[in-house]
Amino acid sequence: MQTSTPGPKPRMAVHKFASCDGCQLTFLNMGETLLQLADMVELVHFAEAGPVAPDAEVDIAFIEGSVTTEHDLERIKQIRSHSGFIVAFGACATAGGIQALRNFADAGEWLSAVYATPEYIDSLATSTPMSDHVKVDLEIWGCPPNRDQVLGAIRAWLYGTLPKQSQDKVCMECKRQHAVCVLVAKGMPCMGPVTQTGCGALCPSFGRGCYSCYGPAEALNTDSLAGWFEGLGLLPEDITRQFRHLNNSAPGFRDAATNIISTDAGHGH
């Protein structure tokens, strides 16, 4: 048993890149469980919680955020070199996050429109996931991932196994929660049928459509859902927006939105 084994505790780091810090809060919001975790691993670097040692050798590193600057690129390569097992967690680290919307636009033009002195901003034209730049050992999707996923991953890693991650769609969990389907009963666009579960079907349980926080599911059929949205009266730009949300640059959603735009252009709108 890990807890009863004497000897050095595994060393763990939590790093932040371009992000809102919400994924790190998944740790901080654990309450007493965080103290239990701190007994089992040595938290070497976790700036938001206190310890700062970004260059220390660790056995496992959690990475939040996406790569948006040259400096980010250097940092993640550096972290890779001194970290045993790397977990990219959250929509930014796994798919580029909401800020990856810049991937579909002229980032330079946005900079000059938003900032009074854009020359102070030194960023890349794209926001990209960690796996585009280094070998990632495990991805935990979600905006933010839930505590059970994070704890389950750490537990499995301590056991020396890979965590079991559900590939089910949000609909499966929605029905387990006995939420009434907002798509069928209200005609409300909902991304549940193309989105990975993990949130506990949070939004549909409160009577609104899924935002796709956990990214594209496997066995994806975005064309069919987009077609149904069109039947509900959504305009092509509204449907595109459904796919260009928190996981806009995850390949499944990126391609779905591109398809809608090119089909729409083909119709001469």
Partner 1 sequence: MSQRTQGRSILPGVNVDDVFKDHDRYFLPRQSFQSLIDQLTLQGYGCVGPVMRDGAIIFDRLDMASQLPQGARDRQAPGYYRLENGGGPRWFSWANGPQALKPYLFPSREVLWEGTVDEDGGLNFKERIIEPEPLAVLGVRACDLAALAIHDAHFLKGPSPDAHYARRREQLFIVAVHCSHPASTCFCVSTGDGPAATRGYDIALAELDEGFVIDAGSDRGKLILDQLPLSKVDEAQLDQARRELNAAVAVQTRALPEGPLNRILFENLDHPRWDEVAERCLACGNCTSVCPTCFCASENEVPSLDGQTSEHSREWSSCFTQGHSYISGHVIRPDIRTRYRQWLTHKLGSWIDQYGRSGCVGCGRCIAWCPVGIDLTEETAAICKDARDE
169 belongs to the binding site for partner 1 (CB under 8 A): yes
Cβ atoms 248, 101 nearer than 8 A:
yes
Binders of partner 1 in range 79-108 (CB under 8 A)? none
The span of 18-26, 43-51, 68-76, 163-171 binding partner 1 (CB under 8 A) equals 163-171
By residue count, the chain amounts to: 269
- Are 136 and 86 spatial neighbours (Cβ–Cβ below 8 Å)? yes
As a whole number of angstroms, the distance between CA 212 and CA 195 comes to: 5
Distances (CA, A) of 50 to 63, 112, 204, 262: 16, 36, 36, 48
Least separation in angstroms between CB 201 and partner 1:
11
252 binding partner 1? (CB under 8 A): no
Beta partners for residue 16, in sequence order? 64
Q: Which stretch binds partner 1 (CB under 8 A): 15-23, 81-89, 125-133, 176-184?
A: 176-184
Partnered with residue 216 across adjacent β-strands are 195
DSSP strand pairing (138-140 vs 58-64): unpaired
77-80: Cβ within 8 A, 24+ apart: 77/133, 77/134, 79/13, 79/15, 79/54, 79/134, 80/134, 80/135
Closest to partner 1 by CB, 29 vs 221, is 221
* Interacting residue with partner 1 among 52, 105, 180, 265 (CB under 8 A): 180
**Looking at 122, 219, 268, 269, which residue binds partner 1 (CB under 8 A)?**
219
Q: Which of 56, 172, 234, 261 binds partner 1 (CB under 8 A)?
A: 172
Q: Residue 195's closest CA among 243, 239, 227, 129?
A: 243
Nearer to partner 1, 190 or 213 (CB): 190
Q: Nearer Cβ to partner 1, position 131 or 205? A: 205
Does position 181 bind partner 1 by CB under 8 A? yes
Q: How many CB atoms lie within 10 A of CB 74?
A: 10
Q: How far is the CB of 166 from partner 1 (least distance, A)?
A: 8
Q: Is 32 in the site for partner 1 (CB under 8 A)?
A: no
**Least distance between partner 1 and beta carbon 227 (Å):** 8
Q: Which residues bind partner 1 (CB under 8 A)?
A: 1-3, 33, 36-37, 40, 151-152, 154-155, 158-159, 164, 166-169, 171-172, 175-181, 183-187, 190, 192-194, 207, 218-219, 221, 223-225, 227-228
